[in-house]
Amino acid sequence: MATVKIGIIGLGFMGSTHWRIYEAMRGAKIVALADVEPAKRRGDVSAVVANIGGGDNSKPLDTTGVSVYENALDLIADPSVDVVDICVPTARHTDLVCAALAAGKHVFCEKPLCRTAAEVKRIVQAAKKAKGFLNIGLCVRAWPEYRAAWEYFKSGKAGKMLSATFKRISPGVDGNSWQNWYMDGAISGGALLDLHVHDTDQINYFFGKPKAVVSHGANVLSKNGGIDHVVTIYDYGDGRLVTAEGGWEQSKGATFEMSFTIVCEKATLKLDSTGLNIFLKNGKKLTPKLDVKAGPTGWHQELKYFVGCVAKGVEPVKYQTIDSVSDTMKIVFAEEKSVASGKAVKI
Protein backbone atom coordinates (compact mmCIF):
# COMPACT_ATOMS: atom_id res chain seq x y z
CA MET A 1 0.00 0.00 0.00
CA ALA A 2 1.24 3.50 -0.79
CA THR A 3 2.44 5.63 2.10
CA VAL A 4 -0.16 8.22 3.15
CA LYS A 5 1.38 11.71 3.40
CA ILE A 6 0.15 13.82 6.27
CA GLY A 7 0.14 17.61 6.83
CA ILE A 8 -0.63 18.73 10.39
CA ILE A 9 -2.08 22.20 11.06
CA GLY A 10 -1.58 23.32 14.68
CA LEU A 11 1.11 21.71 16.85
CA GLY A 12 -0.40 22.15 20.32
CA PHE A 13 -1.67 19.37 22.60
CA MET A 14 -3.59 17.47 19.91
CA GLY A 15 -1.25 18.27 17.01
CA SER A 16 1.76 16.97 18.95
CA THR A 17 -0.23 13.91 20.09
CA HIS A 18 -1.19 13.15 16.47
CA TRP A 19 2.42 13.79 15.39
CA ARG A 20 3.75 11.07 17.72
CA ILE A 21 1.05 8.62 16.65
CA TYR A 22 1.79 9.13 12.92
CA GLU A 23 5.56 8.94 13.53
CA ALA A 24 5.12 5.43 14.93
CA MET A 25 2.49 4.33 12.35
CA ARG A 26 3.46 2.09 9.45
CA GLY A 27 2.09 3.46 6.17
CA ALA A 28 1.99 7.12 7.31
CA LYS A 29 4.56 9.89 6.86
CA ILE A 30 4.37 13.47 8.12
CA VAL A 31 5.39 15.67 5.17
CA ALA A 32 4.15 19.13 6.25
CA LEU A 33 3.43 21.23 9.30
CA ALA A 34 1.75 24.64 9.69
CA ASP A 35 1.58 26.72 12.84
CA VAL A 36 1.33 30.46 13.52
CA GLU A 37 3.94 30.20 16.30
CA PRO A 38 7.64 30.20 15.32
CA ALA A 39 8.61 27.82 18.17
CA LYS A 40 6.07 25.20 17.03
CA ARG A 41 7.40 25.52 13.46
CA ARG A 42 10.79 24.41 14.86
CA GLY A 43 9.10 21.43 16.55
CA ASP A 44 9.45 23.03 20.01
CA VAL A 45 6.39 21.89 21.98
CA SER A 46 7.80 22.65 25.44
CA ALA A 47 4.92 25.11 26.13
CA VAL A 48 2.23 22.49 25.40
CA VAL A 49 0.17 21.21 28.36
CA ALA A 50 -2.09 18.13 28.22
CA ASN A 51 -5.22 17.33 30.27
CA ILE A 52 -4.91 13.59 29.61
CA GLY A 53 -2.26 11.52 27.80
CA GLY A 54 0.26 13.34 25.59
CA GLY A 55 3.99 12.72 25.32
CA ASP A 56 7.25 14.12 26.66
CA ASN A 57 7.07 17.73 25.47
CA SER A 58 10.48 18.70 26.83
CA LYS A 59 12.15 17.25 23.70
CA PRO A 60 11.49 18.95 20.34
CA LEU A 61 9.73 16.97 17.62
CA ASP A 62 11.94 15.98 14.69
CA THR A 63 10.88 18.14 11.73
CA THR A 64 13.71 16.97 9.42
CA GLY A 65 12.43 16.75 5.84
CA VAL A 66 9.04 18.25 6.76
CA SER A 67 7.80 21.31 4.80
CA VAL A 68 7.01 24.02 7.32
CA TYR A 69 4.42 26.76 6.80
CA GLU A 70 3.18 29.71 8.82
CA ASN A 71 -0.04 29.96 6.83
CA ALA A 72 -2.30 26.90 6.95
CA LEU A 73 -3.60 27.64 3.43
CA ASP A 74 -0.09 27.09 2.06
CA LEU A 75 -0.03 23.62 3.60
CA ILE A 76 -3.45 22.91 2.09
CA ALA A 77 -2.09 23.94 -1.33
CA ASP A 78 0.99 21.67 -0.97
CA PRO A 79 0.58 18.92 -3.63
CA SER A 80 2.62 16.43 -1.59
CA VAL A 81 -0.04 16.36 1.19
CA ASP A 82 -2.73 13.61 1.00
CA VAL A 83 -4.33 14.13 4.43
CA VAL A 84 -4.78 17.53 6.10
CA ASP A 85 -5.01 16.99 9.86
CA ILE A 86 -6.53 20.06 11.58
CA CYS A 87 -5.67 20.62 15.27
CA VAL A 88 -6.29 24.37 15.72
CA PRO A 89 -8.75 26.15 18.05
CA THR A 90 -12.38 25.21 17.33
CA ALA A 91 -13.55 28.55 15.88
CA ARG A 92 -10.90 28.12 13.12
CA HIS A 93 -12.05 24.65 12.03
CA THR A 94 -14.73 25.54 9.49
CA ASP A 95 -12.67 27.68 7.09
CA LEU A 96 -9.79 25.20 7.10
CA VAL A 97 -11.97 22.08 6.71
CA CYS A 98 -13.86 23.68 3.79
CA ALA A 99 -10.64 24.92 2.13
CA ALA A 100 -8.94 21.52 2.45
CA LEU A 101 -11.97 19.63 1.10
CA ALA A 102 -12.28 22.13 -1.78
CA ALA A 103 -8.59 21.49 -2.58
CA GLY A 104 -9.39 17.76 -2.97
CA LYS A 105 -7.62 16.65 0.22
CA HIS A 106 -8.70 14.04 2.73
CA VAL A 107 -9.37 15.77 6.06
CA PHE A 108 -9.10 14.65 9.64
CA CYS A 109 -10.27 17.49 11.92
CA GLU A 110 -10.26 17.49 15.69
CA LYS A 111 -13.53 17.66 17.60
CA PRO A 112 -15.79 19.51 18.12
CA LEU A 113 -16.74 19.88 14.45
CA CYS A 114 -17.07 23.67 14.75
CA ARG A 115 -18.25 26.53 16.94
CA THR A 116 -21.77 27.35 15.63
CA ALA A 117 -24.83 25.69 14.11
CA ALA A 118 -24.44 27.76 10.90
CA GLU A 119 -20.93 26.36 10.51
CA VAL A 120 -22.23 22.79 10.77
CA LYS A 121 -24.30 23.42 7.61
CA ARG A 122 -21.27 24.79 5.73
CA ILE A 123 -19.14 21.77 6.60
CA VAL A 124 -21.87 19.23 5.81
CA GLN A 125 -22.40 20.84 2.38
CA ALA A 126 -18.66 20.89 1.67
CA ALA A 127 -18.26 17.25 2.82
CA LYS A 128 -21.13 16.02 0.63
CA LYS A 129 -19.57 17.64 -2.49
CA ALA A 130 -15.98 16.61 -1.70
CA LYS A 131 -13.82 13.97 -3.37
CA GLY A 132 -11.80 13.56 -0.20
CA PHE A 133 -12.89 11.83 3.03
CA LEU A 134 -13.70 13.72 6.24
CA ASN A 135 -13.52 12.30 9.78
CA ILE A 136 -13.83 14.28 13.00
CA GLY A 137 -11.75 13.38 16.08
CA LEU A 138 -14.66 12.16 18.20
CA CYS A 139 -12.11 9.83 19.70
CA VAL A 140 -14.35 8.43 22.43
CA ARG A 141 -16.28 6.43 19.79
CA ALA A 142 -12.95 4.66 19.18
CA TRP A 143 -11.68 4.63 22.80
CA PRO A 144 -11.16 0.93 23.67
CA GLU A 145 -13.36 0.84 26.83
CA TYR A 146 -16.21 2.81 25.19
CA ARG A 147 -15.89 0.74 22.02
CA ALA A 148 -16.16 -2.54 23.92
CA ALA A 149 -19.23 -1.24 25.77
CA TRP A 150 -20.77 -0.05 22.49
CA GLU A 151 -20.17 -3.44 20.84
CA TYR A 152 -21.79 -5.28 23.77
CA PHE A 153 -24.76 -2.89 23.81
CA LYS A 154 -25.26 -3.00 20.02
CA SER A 155 -25.11 -6.82 20.04
CA GLY A 156 -28.42 -6.72 21.97
CA LYS A 157 -27.03 -8.89 24.81
CA ALA A 158 -27.71 -6.19 27.40
CA GLY A 159 -31.28 -5.62 26.24
CA LYS A 160 -33.03 -2.25 26.26
CA MET A 161 -31.37 0.70 28.01
CA LEU A 162 -33.35 1.85 31.06
CA SER A 163 -31.15 4.64 32.37
CA ALA A 164 -27.67 5.99 31.70
CA THR A 165 -25.33 8.53 33.17
CA PHE A 166 -22.03 9.83 31.78
CA LYS A 167 -19.39 11.99 33.45
CA ARG A 168 -16.23 13.81 32.29
CA ILE A 169 -14.44 16.06 34.77
CA SER A 170 -11.06 17.49 33.81
CA PRO A 171 -8.42 19.23 35.88
CA GLY A 172 -8.42 23.01 35.34
CA VAL A 173 -7.40 24.06 31.83
CA ASP A 174 -6.87 27.78 32.50
CA GLY A 175 -3.49 28.69 30.96
CA ASN A 176 -3.09 25.36 29.11
CA SER A 177 -3.85 26.42 25.54
CA TRP A 178 -2.43 28.72 22.86
CA GLN A 179 -3.39 32.31 23.83
CA ASN A 180 -5.60 30.67 26.49
CA TRP A 181 -8.32 30.05 23.86
CA TYR A 182 -10.04 27.33 25.93
CA MET A 183 -11.05 30.09 28.38
CA ASP A 184 -12.70 32.17 25.64
CA GLY A 185 -16.26 30.91 25.21
CA ALA A 186 -16.56 32.61 21.81
CA ILE A 187 -13.73 30.41 20.46
CA SER A 188 -14.04 27.16 22.44
CA GLY A 189 -17.68 27.08 23.58
CA GLY A 190 -16.39 26.32 27.09
CA ALA A 191 -16.33 22.87 28.65
CA LEU A 192 -19.83 22.30 27.26
CA LEU A 193 -18.65 22.23 23.64
CA ASP A 194 -15.03 21.25 24.13
CA LEU A 195 -15.18 18.46 26.73
CA HIS A 196 -18.77 17.44 27.45
CA VAL A 197 -19.40 17.08 23.66
CA HIS A 198 -17.69 13.66 23.92
CA ASP A 199 -20.51 12.42 26.19
CA THR A 200 -23.24 14.11 24.15
CA ASP A 201 -21.72 12.26 21.21
CA GLN A 202 -21.67 8.93 23.08
CA ILE A 203 -25.32 9.38 24.03
CA ASN A 204 -26.22 10.08 20.39
CA TYR A 205 -24.03 7.18 19.22
CA PHE A 206 -25.44 4.64 21.69
CA PHE A 207 -29.10 5.67 21.92
CA GLY A 208 -29.81 8.04 19.00
CA LYS A 209 -31.10 11.61 19.11
CA PRO A 210 -33.22 12.54 22.18
CA LYS A 211 -36.45 14.48 21.67
CA ALA A 212 -35.30 17.38 23.87
CA VAL A 213 -32.61 18.46 26.34
CA VAL A 214 -32.66 20.40 29.60
CA SER A 215 -29.27 21.75 30.66
CA HIS A 216 -27.96 23.82 33.51
CA GLY A 217 -24.51 25.36 33.30
CA ALA A 218 -22.13 27.51 35.25
CA ASN A 219 -19.78 30.16 33.93
CA VAL A 220 -16.99 29.99 36.51
CA LEU A 221 -13.75 30.98 34.80
CA SER A 222 -14.24 31.56 31.07
CA LYS A 223 -14.74 34.89 29.35
CA ASN A 224 -17.47 35.49 26.74
CA GLY A 225 -19.94 33.26 28.58
CA GLY A 226 -18.13 29.91 28.15
CA ILE A 227 -19.91 27.23 30.18
CA ASP A 228 -17.29 25.66 32.48
CA HIS A 229 -19.60 23.07 34.03
CA VAL A 230 -22.78 21.56 32.62
CA VAL A 231 -25.39 19.00 33.64
CA THR A 232 -27.90 17.79 31.02
CA ILE A 233 -30.97 15.59 31.01
CA TYR A 234 -31.60 14.00 27.59
CA ASP A 235 -35.35 13.44 27.19
CA TYR A 236 -36.26 10.44 25.01
CA GLY A 237 -39.96 10.99 25.70
CA ASP A 238 -40.46 7.45 27.04
CA GLY A 239 -39.42 7.59 30.70
CA ARG A 240 -35.80 6.49 30.23
CA LEU A 241 -33.48 8.76 32.21
CA VAL A 242 -30.22 9.75 30.49
CA THR A 243 -27.91 12.35 32.03
CA ALA A 244 -24.38 13.68 31.54
CA GLU A 245 -22.14 16.03 33.47
CA GLY A 246 -18.94 17.72 32.33
CA GLY A 247 -16.63 20.34 33.77
CA TRP A 248 -13.10 21.69 33.68
CA GLU A 249 -12.92 24.07 36.63
CA GLN A 250 -11.19 21.74 39.15
CA SER A 251 -7.80 22.71 40.57
CA LYS A 252 -4.81 21.90 38.39
CA GLY A 253 -3.37 18.48 39.15
CA ALA A 254 -6.75 17.02 40.21
CA THR A 255 -7.44 13.68 38.50
CA PHE A 256 -9.20 13.41 35.14
CA GLU A 257 -12.43 11.45 35.45
CA MET A 258 -14.33 9.83 32.58
CA SER A 259 -17.01 7.34 33.54
CA PHE A 260 -20.44 5.98 32.71
CA THR A 261 -23.14 3.67 34.05
CA ILE A 262 -25.60 2.26 31.52
CA VAL A 263 -28.39 0.24 33.13
CA CYS A 264 -30.10 -2.14 30.73
CA GLU A 265 -32.74 -4.85 31.14
CA LYS A 266 -30.20 -7.70 31.29
CA ALA A 267 -26.94 -6.01 32.31
CA THR A 268 -25.31 -2.88 33.70
CA LEU A 269 -22.31 -1.56 31.75
CA LYS A 270 -19.99 0.44 33.96
CA LEU A 271 -16.74 2.34 33.33
CA ASP A 272 -15.02 3.69 36.43
CA SER A 273 -11.51 3.85 37.86
CA THR A 274 -11.38 0.02 37.89
CA GLY A 275 -11.99 -0.12 34.12
CA LEU A 276 -14.93 -1.41 32.08
CA ASN A 277 -17.08 -4.08 33.69
CA ILE A 278 -20.39 -5.60 32.71
CA PHE A 279 -22.61 -6.77 35.58
CA LEU A 280 -25.18 -9.34 34.50
CA LYS A 281 -28.60 -9.69 36.13
CA ASN A 282 -27.55 -13.09 37.57
CA GLY A 283 -24.72 -11.45 39.55
CA LYS A 284 -21.89 -12.51 37.19
CA LYS A 285 -19.28 -9.90 36.23
CA LEU A 286 -17.70 -9.78 32.76
CA THR A 287 -14.54 -7.81 32.03
CA PRO A 288 -14.42 -7.45 28.23
CA LYS A 289 -11.09 -7.82 26.43
CA LEU A 290 -10.17 -4.47 24.90
CA ASP A 291 -8.99 -4.12 21.32
CA VAL A 292 -5.75 -2.15 21.64
CA LYS A 293 -4.01 -3.47 18.51
CA ALA A 294 -3.74 0.02 17.03
CA GLY A 295 -2.70 1.54 20.37
CA PRO A 296 -4.01 2.25 23.87
CA THR A 297 -6.21 5.29 23.13
CA GLY A 298 -9.05 6.27 20.84
CA TRP A 299 -6.63 8.72 19.16
CA HIS A 300 -4.46 5.78 18.02
CA GLN A 301 -7.50 3.79 16.87
CA GLU A 302 -9.21 6.57 14.89
CA LEU A 303 -6.04 7.79 13.13
CA LYS A 304 -4.83 4.30 12.20
CA TYR A 305 -8.27 3.50 10.80
CA PHE A 306 -8.52 6.79 8.84
CA VAL A 307 -5.04 6.43 7.31
CA GLY A 308 -5.83 2.80 6.38
CA CYS A 309 -9.04 3.90 4.63
CA VAL A 310 -7.20 6.63 2.69
CA ALA A 311 -4.51 4.12 1.63
CA LYS A 312 -7.17 1.67 0.39
CA GLY A 313 -9.55 4.30 -1.03
CA VAL A 314 -12.36 3.00 1.21
CA GLU A 315 -14.81 5.45 2.78
CA PRO A 316 -14.12 5.70 6.57
CA VAL A 317 -17.54 5.00 8.09
CA LYS A 318 -16.62 2.60 10.92
CA TYR A 319 -16.84 5.25 13.63
CA GLN A 320 -18.98 7.97 12.06
CA THR A 321 -20.79 9.55 9.17
CA ILE A 322 -21.03 13.32 8.73
CA ASP A 323 -24.78 13.01 9.42
CA SER A 324 -24.21 11.40 12.84
CA VAL A 325 -21.58 14.03 13.70
CA SER A 326 -24.00 16.75 12.61
CA ASP A 327 -26.72 15.24 14.88
CA THR A 328 -24.30 15.38 17.84
CA MET A 329 -23.69 19.06 17.10
CA LYS A 330 -27.46 19.74 16.94
CA ILE A 331 -27.80 18.21 20.41
CA VAL A 332 -24.86 20.06 21.95
CA PHE A 333 -26.00 23.40 20.50
CA ALA A 334 -29.50 22.69 21.92
CA GLU A 335 -27.78 22.19 25.31
CA GLU A 336 -26.06 25.56 24.89
CA LYS A 337 -29.46 27.18 24.15
CA SER A 338 -31.06 25.45 27.13
CA VAL A 339 -28.37 26.76 29.50
CA ALA A 340 -28.94 30.29 28.16
CA SER A 341 -32.76 30.16 28.27
CA GLY A 342 -33.27 28.00 31.37
CA LYS A 343 -35.85 26.02 29.34
CA ALA A 344 -36.07 22.63 27.66
CA VAL A 345 -35.01 22.77 24.00
CA LYS A 346 -36.46 20.41 21.38
CA ILE A 347 -34.01 18.72 19.01
**What does R_g of the chain's alpha carbons equal in angstroms?**
20
Q: Which residue is nearest to ligand NAD (CB)?
A: 12
Q: State which of positions 168-227 bind ligand NAD (CB under 6 A).
A: 177-178, 181, 194
Query: Does 144 sit near ligand NAD (CB under 6 A)?
Result: no
Return the closest-CA partner of residue 170 out of 111, 246, 222: 246
Query: Does 37 sit near ligand NAD (CB under 6 A)?
Result: yes
Query: What is the closest distance, in whole angstroms, from the C-beta atom of residue 176 to ligand NAD in the complex?
Result: 7
Which residues on neighbouring strands pair with residue 260, listed in sequence order? 166, 271
Compare residues 236 and 256 and give the one whose CB is closer to ligand NAD.
256
Compare residues 127 and 173 and give the one whose CB is closer to ligand NAD.
173
In this structure, are residues 78 and 7 in contact, taking their beta carbons and an 8 Å threshold? yes
Which range in 31-39, 154-162, 218-226, 251-259 contacts ligand NAD by CB under 6 A?
31-39
Helix (H), strand (E) at residue 242: strand 241-247
Q: State which of positions 95-124 bind ligand NAD (CB under 6 A).
A: 110-111
Amino acid at the residue 33: L
Query: Does 90 sit near ligand NAD (CB under 6 A)?
Result: yes
Compare residues 10 and 210 and give the one whose CB is closer to ligand NAD.
10
Instruction: Tell me 151's DSSP state.
Output: H
Query: Does 139 sit near ligand NAD (CB under 6 A)?
Result: yes
Query: What is the closest distance, in whole angstroms, from the C-beta atom of residue 78 to ligand NAD in the complex?
Result: 14
Cis peptide before 316 (omega within 30 of 0): no
In this structure, are residues 176 and 256 in contact, taking their beta carbons and an 8 Å threshold? no
Number of helices (H) and strands (E) in the chain: give both, helices first.
11, 15
Query: What is the closest distance, in whole angstroms, from the C-beta atom of residue 195 to ligand NAD in the complex?
Result: 8
Compare residues 14 and 276 and give the one whose CB is closer to ligand NAD.
14
Q: State which of positions 42-81 bind ligand NAD (CB under 6 A).
A: 48, 72
Question: 73, exposed or middle or buried, with CB in 10 Å at 0-12, 13-18, 19+?
Answer: middle
- Rounded distance between C-alpha atoms, residue 169 and residue 229, angstroms: 9
- Rounded distance between C-alpha atoms, residue 113 and residue 232, angstroms: 20
Compare residues 95 and 225 and give the one whose CB is closer to ligand NAD.
95
Number of residues that bind ligand NAD (CB under 6 A): 27
Compare residues 31 and 214 and give the one whose CB is closer to ligand NAD.
31
Reduced 3-state DSSP string for 164-194: EEEEEECCCCCCCCHHHHHHEHHHHCHHHHH
Beta-strand runs (E) in 61-147: 67-69, 83-86, 106-110, 134-137
Which range in 29-37, 156-164, 256-264, 338-346 contacts ligand NAD by CB under 6 A?
29-37
Compare residues 90 and 135 and give the one whose CB is closer to ligand NAD.
90
Compare residues 112 and 210 and give the one whose CB is closer to ligand NAD.
112
Binning the chain into helix, strand and coil, the percentages to the nearest 5 are 35, 25, 40
Return the closest-CA partner of residue 28 out of 53, 55, 1: 1
Query: What is the closest distance, in whole angstroms, from the C-beta atom of residue 198 to ligand NAD in the complex?
Result: 7
Which range in 7-15, 19-27, 160-168, 337-345 contacts ligand NAD by CB under 6 A?
7-15
Query: Does 92 sit near ligand NAD (CB under 6 A)?
Result: yes
Query: What is the closest distance, in whole angstroms, from the C-beta atom of residue 92 to ligand NAD in the complex?
Result: 5
Q: What residue ranges bind ligand NAD (CB under 6 A)? A: 9-15, 34-37, 40, 48, 72, 87-90, 92, 110-111, 137, 139, 177-178, 181, 194
